Chain A
């Protein structure tokens, strides 16, 4: 089956620091990856769509300079939360689109806590 790996699973950082989250498709190539933010007991909020080799497309209201997305290869996309603040604390989750049958598979998520 399709496996999407996301690291780290949990990170605690001080306010003002930057945190990088990696999303890897382990057994397929993903030309498109998505990044979401999820609050407790709420739905997935799409932050941006990441296409390999091009700039990410951000949803309205998402600061692209704060949430830096890089999709340098067909199996790796990264989300960097720059100058993190307590309000950035959340569950961040990625997904990857497997082109062969256009199914979407999710990473395991990253719980970010900013002190």
Chain B
């Protein structure tokens, strides 16, 4: 079946502009996660959604970052007034349920470059 998809695959923007990154999870997966991967660093948790529960936003680095999810489908990560330090690969993952041992299935990522 189809895996997690993300769009765009690459995004180049100018400092100060807003960007939207999209994630389509695997159909039927109730949990969705966003991570950030900066060059030479490990993945950094940003936010996750579980069904209709309030999202865990504890990893968002500033109030310029926000994310939404419609039901158990598409999610959008928005970065307002982008800064050069926002340049990274943004990865989305989904899992069938919400549990510590559930496998997270990752998309290919969106590479964001802020000039």
Do chains A and B stick together as partners?
no
Which A positions have Cβ atoms within 8 angstroms of B?
Answer: none
